Amino acid sequence: MPELPEVETVRQGLAPFLVGSRILQVDLRRKDLRFPFPENFSTRLEGRRIVALNRRAKYLLAHLDDEQVLVAHLGMSGSFRLEAGTVGTFKFPRSKNPAHDHVAFSLETGVMIYNDPRRFGFMTLAQSSELADHPYFVGLGVEPLSNDFSGESLNQLFAGKSAPLKSALLDQRNIAGLGNIYVCEALHRAKLSPMRPAGSLTEKASDTLARAVRQVLQEAIEAGGSSLRDHRQADGSLGYFQHNFRVYDREGQACVSRACQGTITRRTQNGRSTFYCPNCQS
C-alpha cells in the first residue's frame, strides 16, 4: 500500500495539473471500486473547479469551489495517470492496462485516469465544513510532518502504553499516515527496538525518534517515494527511496550503522514484516 510519502508525492505531482482547473466530465467505467461511488457522483463533480489539493494521512483531498471535497484513497494498487499536461524508481511497473482504467476525469487541463487493478482504492464526496468529523478522519492522529508532531507529543501519546513501539507508531489513531516501511526505517535511525514497550521511551529517545520519523519521511518525499510494487509518481516515473533503505527488505544483510557488526533480522508483528538490527536497536 502506498504510504504517506508516496501519497504526498502524488499530491505534489497532480497539484499543478488540477488546482485551478474545472472538471468538465467524469466517466465512471464501473459502479464501484472498493465501495460504491456516491449517488450522482459524476454530476456533482462536473462543472466544479478544483481550488486546492491537500493530503490527510494517506488520503488525497481535492477541495472544490462549492465546498465539496473529493476524497480519494489509492488502496493497494491505485494510481492517477495524466493523459495530457503531465507534470514532470516500486520495482514492478504500475498498471497502464486500460482494462483497469475505472474513472476518467476530463478537465480544462487535460485528462486524468484512475487505474486500479485490485480495486482496493475508493472515492467519495464530503462537505468541507464536516471533514474533521467524517468517519474516515475523525479518529486520525497527528500528522507526522506537522508542527504538532514532536518528541513531547510522542511522550504524551505513548505514556503508559505497553504495546510494542512499532505497533504504536503504526496505529493511525496515534499518528496519521505512517506505514510499515518508514516506521522500520525510522526506528533503525533512532536505534530503538520495534519490540520495546511504547511507554518505555525516555524524553531523549522520544525526541530522537520524532526527528528520525520526520527525516525519513522528508527524504522519501524528495526521492519520489519508494517504488516497491505499484507506486508511481503522477508523471509515471518511479520513486527511488528504496535504494536508501537501511533495514527494510534487507534480511540477512549487514547493518549499515557505523561500527555495528549486526545483521538485519526479520520478524512478524501483527501480521507485518518487521526489519531491524538486534545489535544496535534496543
Catalytic sites, residue numbers: 2-3, 58, 272
Grid cell of 254 as nine digits: 549487514
Backbone angles phi, psi at 213, to 5 degrees: -60, -50
Grid cell of 238 as nine digits: 518511479
Determine whether 111 is exposed, middle or buried from the number of CB atoms within 10 Å of its CB (0-12, 13-18, 19+): middle
Within 10 A of 132 (CB to CB), how many other CB atoms are there?
10
Rg, C-alpha atoms of the chain: 20
Q: What residue type is assigned to position 20 of the chain? A: G
Q: What is d(CA 111, CA 108) in angstroms, rounded to the nearest whole number?
A: 8
Within 10 A of 160 (CB to CB), how many other CB atoms are there?
7
Backbone angles phi, psi at 95, to 5 degrees: -60, 135
Backbone angles phi, psi at 262, to 5 degrees: -80, 170
Q: What are the residues facing 69 on neighbouring strands?
A: 63, 126
